[in-house]
Chain A
Amino acid sequence: MKVKIKHVWSHQEEQIVIECVDMTPEFEDIKNYCLTRGHHITGYIHESQQQVCIKDILYIEAIGDKVFAYTQKEVFEVKKRLYELEEELIPYKFVRCSKAFLICLLKIHSIRPALNGRYLACMENKEEVMISRKYAHSVKKMIMEEL
């Protein structure tokens, strides 16, 4: 397989063009990898694969072995571990707020105290996500350091 690299002058012009006879699983993997490296992650609704724009995700929850990404209207299963997403999504202002949750700081509407050192983050879809006592300090630190 040939690989061509062409230099461009701006980030806006950057793109990857896949030229193939058939969209084989290998090409599908390359496509998904490229999309993931951009501003999307691969999500699944009833085994139907979709690209989810990271900027649309409010929070991510791990339930058992499965991980779900919540947008305003939809819930996608993400076939990655929570700790992998935690590292991958740091540039998008995602932070671990409890053992099973990652929240996007930019999608928080307000924060209020809960009992015993915990907080509740009210997200833009009005859902409330618990910020546990264990992670409250790191969430606060990340919020303060972002400015």
Chain B
Amino acid sequence: MMEWKEFLKKSLIDFLIIQAGITLAIGIIGCIKQPTTDFHYAGFFVPFLYAFFCLLPSVVTYSSYELSIKQMIVRKVIQLLLIEGIVLLISYIVGALSDFLMGMIIAFVVVIIYILANFIDYYIARSNAYLMTKKVKSMKKGGRE
């Protein structure tokens, strides 16, 4: 139960990271490819839509038992492929997939955001690990005194 709660917490953080990444990507791609295109207020909801659907494949990384590093890497690759598929499909539906080059750019941006999201996850975990190590060391030091 606790693990499911932790999984949801992690998913929420991922959702926010993905949303921020997609907003940035839309901004950059839009400036380069279609700088004169009008932008409707409804466009602000697009990153939410993408982030929500991109989060759904996270289910493949959930397991009630402990996965080995190899199993987790395989699941991460499957997750990335599913996200690529979902993003390209949504882009096609909303008419953002104008040509092959655009498809390649979107696919590349997805990989960048995926790496960024995982890097932020790792960075948070590394900070926690550092903090715990520091506390353990001072606990041991206190014990000896």
Contact = CB atoms under 8 A, between A and B. Distances in A.
Contact of A134 (B2, B69, B140): B2
Contacts of A114: 69
A85 interface: no
Judged by DSSP, the binding face of A is mixed
A112 B129 contact: yes
B135 A119 contact: no
A110 B133 contact: yes
Instruction: Determine which residue in A106, A115, A136 has the highest number of CB atoms from chain B within 10 A of its CB, and name it.
Output: A115
A147 interface: yes
Contacts of A133: 3, 6, 66
Interface string A124-147: 000000101110110110011011
Given A132-B66, A133-B3, A133-B6, A113 B128 contact: yes
A133 B125 CA distance: 11
B129 to A, nearest CB: 5
Contacts, number: 66
Interface string B37-77: 00000000000000000000000010000110100110000
A82 B6 CA distance: 24
29 contacts: A98-B66, A99-B66, A105-B136, A106-B136, A106-B139, A106-B140, A106-B143, A108-B136, A110-B129, A111-B133, A112-B126, A113-B125, A113-B126, A113-B129, A115-B69, A115-B73, A117-B10, A117-B125, A119-B128, A133-B3, A133-B66, A137-B2, A137-B6, A143-B136, A144-B132, A144-B135, A146-B135, A147-B135, A147-B138
Interface string B102-145: 00000000000000000001100110110011011011101100
Interface string B1-21: 011001000100000000000
Contacts of A106: 136, 139-140, 143
B129 A111 contact: yes
